[in-house]
Structure 1
Amino acid sequence: MNLALSTTLQTSFADAVEKTRKALQEQGFGVLTEIDMRATLKAKLDVDMEDYLILGACNPPLAHRAVTIDRQIGLLLPCNVIVRSDPAAGGTVTVEAMNPELMVQVTGEPALEAVAEEAGTRLRAAIASLGDAS
C-alpha cells in the first residue's frame, strides 16, 4: 500500500494551493489547519527550503464515524495533504494526501475499513481533479 495519493502539476505554487483547497472542498473536506513549513523552518532554524504547505483536511461526517469506532483515531486526524514545490524543476508542484487505508493498518480495527474506503475515494477524486485541472 502506498503512503500517499499524489499528483504532479505544472503550475505555480499559489495556483496549486488554490486548486487543492477547491478540490478538497468539492469532496466535503474543510481545511482546519495549515502549516507553512518553509516559513516555520526559516523562522525557527534559519533554514531555507522550497514552498511546502501542510493542509489538515477534515470531512466532519467521516471524522465522526471514525472517532465513534475508535477514540484514538484522532491521533491520525485530520487527513494531511501536502502541497510542495519541486526545487529541481521550476513550475512543478506535487500534491499528496495521506492514504486513509493507513488508519486501518495502524489500528488493526476492521470497523474502520468502510470509513477509510470512503475517505480514500473522496481524496482520490480530489487529487484526480487536480490532474484534470492542470
Structure 2
Amino acid sequence: MTYTHTVTVPFSWEEAVERTRTALAGQGFGILSEINVRNTFDAKLGTEAAEALGPYVILGACNPQLASKALAAEPDLGALLPCNVVVRRGTNDTVTTVQAIDPQTMVRLSDSAAVRDVANDADARLRAALAELSATAPAG
C-alpha cells in the first residue's frame, strides 16, 4: 500500500524546500509546522546519525478551508492533520525527493462522504503542487 505521492527533482535541497513552499502556497496550503529532522538527529543522536540521514524536513501543510470541512465532518481527523510534506536528500544523492501524504488515506479510515470530498480536493491540490515542482525542473 502506498501512502505518499513522490517526485524527484534535480534541485538542491534548499531550492527544493523553497519551491515546495511556493507550490503548496499556490494550491492554498500554508505551513503550520516545520520539523528539521536532520537538526533533531544532530541534537539528540549525534552528528553521525544526522549526516547519515542527510537534509530532511517535514512541512506541516494546511489548507484552512479543507481542514475546516474535514473537522466539521469528523473532529477526530485532527489526528491526521496537517498534511505532511517531506523534502529530503540523501547524503550522496544528486537529486532531491519531495513526498506528500496521500489524502486518500483519510478515506480508508472514514465512511463520511464529506471526508471523501475533502480528501479528493486535497489530493488534487497536493498532486498539482508536486506536478508544478516537476514541471519547473530543468530538463536533464
Task: Please confirm whether the aligned pair reaches a TM-score higher than 0.5, indicating the same fold.
Answer: yes
Tell me the residue number matched to 1:120: 123
Tell me the residue number matched to 2:100: 97
- Give, in angstroms, the shift of residue 43 of structure 1: 0.1
User: Does residue 132 of the first structure (1) align with residue 135 of the second (2)?
Assistant: yes
- For 1:74 and 1:68, how far apart are their aligned partners in 2? 10
RMSD: 1.1
- Give, in angstroms, the shift of residue 2 of structure 1: 2.6
Tell me the residue number matched to 2:57: 53
- For 1:81 and 1:124, how far apart are their aligned partners in 2? 11
- For 1:67 and 1:42, how far apart are their aligned partners in 2? 36
Q: Closer, same or farther in 2 for the Cα pair 1:88/1:109, shift >3 Å?
A: farther
Tell me the residue number matched to 2:9: 9
Which amino acid is the alignment partner of residue 21 of structure 1? R
Secondary structure of 2:99's counterpart equals strand
TM-score (norm 1): 0.95
Structure 1 residues without counterparts, runs of 5 or longer: none
Identify which of 72, 97, 101 aligns with 1:68.
72
Tell me the residue number matched to 1:107: 110
Aligned length: 133
Which amino acid is the alignment partner of residue 119 of structure 2? A
